[in-house]
Structure 1
Amino acid sequence: MRRFFLLMPLAVLLAAVVVVLATEYVVARPGHRTKDVAYVPASAPDFDKERHILDVYSPNGAAAKTAGYPVVLFIHGGSWTSGSKNIYTFIGRRLAKQGVVAVVINYRLAPPVHVPEQAADCAHALAWTVTNIGRYGGDPARIFVMGHSAGGGLAALLATDDALLARNGLPQNPVRGAIMDDPAGLDMYSYLKEMKYEGDQQYLVPFGKDPAVWKEQSAIYKIKPGMPPFMFFIGGETYPSISGSAGRFRDRLKVIGQPAQYTVLPGKHHIPMVLQLYWQHNIIYQELLKMVGA
């Protein structure tokens, strides 16, 4: 039975990447990881010491580089209810090896918070990046966002929702481009109104029951001229709602005169779309490096 993007439980994803993580200890790992940096002040009333943190991966010698490297902020998936930056160390290391400063973040999960709070967390992480990334060798004028699955939907909000950023310390949108890796949640308004797949009720946990919130947290309704460029990578065997909403997003971009690069990877299912990022020469990195100018 075909479901939406009923993402694999975190335990399954952990099992799928265990070999990848183990291999990290026996292969060359160029670059430097700065771990568990708080992007929200510890004095904030809602500070979460486990979720309001991020890791920065810098190429070797980045701090001494005069111009600064391009920056990619990566947001993990997990149905808005699971996931951790610690699963995706391979992405940070692969980006750093190829001349990109990577920021891999945690954010609070549902329950007890909902997607609006998660989007605010991501915006806070982006604001931290703008202010601080120069100390890690990154160029604050060249910041890009990237996400897989639910993280793709959150990354799309950072690229499109200027009001969200303004509420969280960014009066101007600093995002220079968005890389969507099999993104989920681009149009939760349409999806939750239809409720046509078994198990769809689970998404009311992170999104709530108010259709106005579903629409507000769907980046497809925030498309407007002047946005940063988007780049899509969609699995040829992914969930139909992911390919469908991504295709509609692409079409709306074309209508406003901002056609997006849109690549379908034949035979790829949803989870392998992120696992392939372990290999530094895969097509996503190849095209990402062109976008960011690494």
Structure 2
Amino acid sequence: MGKPFGATDWRAMSREQVDAGLNNGVAVAGSAEIGAGWVERSEAMKVRFPAHLELSYGPRERNRFDFLKAADGGPTLVLIHGGYWQMRSKDFFTCFAAGPMAHGINVAVIGYTLAPEATLDEIVAELHASVDALVAQLPSLGGDPARIIVSGWSAGGHLTATTLTHPAVKGGVAISGIYDLEPIRHSYLNEKLKLDEAMSKRNSPLLRDSGPAAPLSLVVGGNELPLLRQQTSDLAAFRAVRGLPVSYEEIAGADHFSIMKQLESPTGRITTLIKQMAERI
């Protein structure tokens, strides 16, 4: 798809330029206040749907998920929070269940261990373990274990792509993700992640020979940092040339944080993509 987004060759950048090119918190004014609003609205959602909170899928403290039930026997969306694998928690993200739930889609908001307590290998494995647990628990929770899709934002977009390889996952919607971890490895973000070249490459969808056959919708904001926009475009092209089902679109005018309005709203574009995917499985 070329390089239409400005300076996106991180290898030609200084360390300071790479750091700035990945720093969404600095790029978006008021990002801390936006995140605080997410937490507030997430707490309100949990008050509305208190029946299945803090369910365990593994031994570690953050191996928990909240299941918000919208419909008996309905599909389930696995929702993965962002924070560059080292910040935030599922409690920032519950508010975004509102859009899909309006269409009868159950939502499991997943927590995972953060770096440096966990390596990226371990984080990816935890997400797979969470899907294993969902498959086992969905019949008693009221969902259909044969209709699981996954979505996430930022680092959660990356984890969406890596969780798409789970055999129970029927499709994914990845939002503003990172799919080649090599620029991360050469940035300030690696102080906690501690990626070496081998770990970076085996966890980078763009650096694999191919990818999972389940459909993947890729979404990014039109006003996001060029490196993120390019990575989303590159993964779409990567999958297309390999004959893997993929769609790509930019949300005009959206930055890295405001794009999430398109998931929280029942009529948002990301909600629509999830609804359409759920209808096909």
**TM-score, normalised via structure 1 length:** 0.79
Task: Please give the alpha-carbon distance, in whole angstroms, between the structure 2 residues aligned to 1:206 and 1:225.
Answer: 24
Unaligned runs of 5+ in 2: 1-16
Q: Alignment partner for residue 108 of structure 2, among 92, 103, 106?
A: 103
Q: Is the CA contact (8 Å cut-off) linking 2:38 and 2:93 kept in structure 1?
A: no
Q: Is the CA contact (8 Å cut-off) linking 1:30 and 1:96 kept in structure 2?
A: no
Shift of residue 32, structure 1, vs aligned partner: 5.8
Q: Alignment partner for residue 35 of structure 1, among 31, 53, 62?
A: 53
Q: Is the CA contact (8 Å cut-off) linking 2:219 and 2:232 kept in structure 1?
A: no
Shift of residue 33, structure 1, vs aligned partner: 4.8
State whether structure 2 residue 196 is matched by structure 1 residue 202.
no
What are the within-5 Å matches in structure 2 for residues 1-294 of structure 1?
3-8=20-25, 13=31, 15-19=33-37, 22=40, 33-40=51-58, 47-49=59-61, 51-59=62-70, 62=71, 65=72, 68-160=73-165, 173-184=167-178, 186-189=179-182, 191-192=183-184, 195=186, 200-208=187-195, 210-222=196-208, 224=210, 227-293=213-279
Task: Please give the alpha-carbon distance, in whole angstroms, between the structure 2 residues aligned to 1:263 and 1:154.
Answer: 19
Distance 1:78 1:118, change over 3 A: same
Distance 1:266 1:250, change over 3 A: same
AA paired with 1:4? G
Q: Is the CA contact (8 Å cut-off) linking 1:223 and 1:252 kept in structure 2?
A: no
Q: Is the CA contact (8 Å cut-off) linking 1:90 and 1:277 kept in structure 2?
A: no
Shift of residue 244, structure 1, vs aligned partner: 1.2
Distance 1:155 1:22, change over 3 A: closer
Secondary structure of residue in 2 paired with 1:245: helix
What percent identity do the matched residue pairs reach?
Answer: 24
AA paired with 2:176? D
Shift of residue 275, structure 1, vs aligned partner: 4.2
AA paired with 1:183? G
Distance 1:32 1:95, change over 3 A: farther
AA paired with 1:242? L
Shift of residue 223, structure 1, vs aligned partner: 5.7
Task: Please give the alpha-carbon distance, in whole angstroms, between the structure 1 residues aligned to 2:242 and 2:131.
Answer: 26
After alignment, is 29-38 or 239-248 more displaced? 29-38
Shift of residue 158, structure 1, vs aligned partner: 1.1
Task: Please give the alpha-carbon distance, in whole angstroms, between the structure 2 residues aligned to 1:113 and 1:225.
Answer: 24
Distance 1:154 1:207, change over 3 A: farther
Q: In angstroms, what is the RMSD of aligned CA positions? A: 2.6
Shift of residue 273, structure 1, vs aligned partner: 1.7
Task: Please give the alpha-carbon distance, in whole angstroms, between the structure 2 residues aligned to 1:77 and 1:225.
Answer: 22
Q: Is the CA contact (8 Å cut-off) linking 1:70 and 1:139 kept in structure 2?
A: yes
Equivalences, count: 260
Distance 1:93 1:223, change over 3 A: farther
Task: Please give the alpha-carbon distance, in whole angstroms, between the structure 1 residues aligned to 2:56 and 2:41.
Answer: 28
Shift of residue 98, structure 1, vs aligned partner: 1.8
Task: Please give the alpha-carbon distance, in whole angstroms, between the structure 2 residues aligned to 1:26 and 1:218.
Answer: 35
AA paired with 1:6? N
Task: Please give the alpha-carbon distance, in whole angstroms, between the structure 2 residues aligned to 1:37 and 1:69.
Answer: 19
Unaligned runs of 5+ in 1: 41-46, 166-172
Shift of residue 97, structure 1, vs aligned partner: 2.7
**TM-score, normalised via structure 2 length:** 0.83
Shift of residue 266, structure 1, vs aligned partner: 1.4
Shift of residue 16, structure 1, vs aligned partner: 0.9
Task: Please give the alpha-carbon distance, in whole angstroms, between the structure 1 residues aligned to 2:49 and 2:141.
Answer: 11
Task: Please give the alpha-carbon distance, in whole angstroms, between the structure 1 residues aligned to 2:24 and 2:264.
Answer: 20
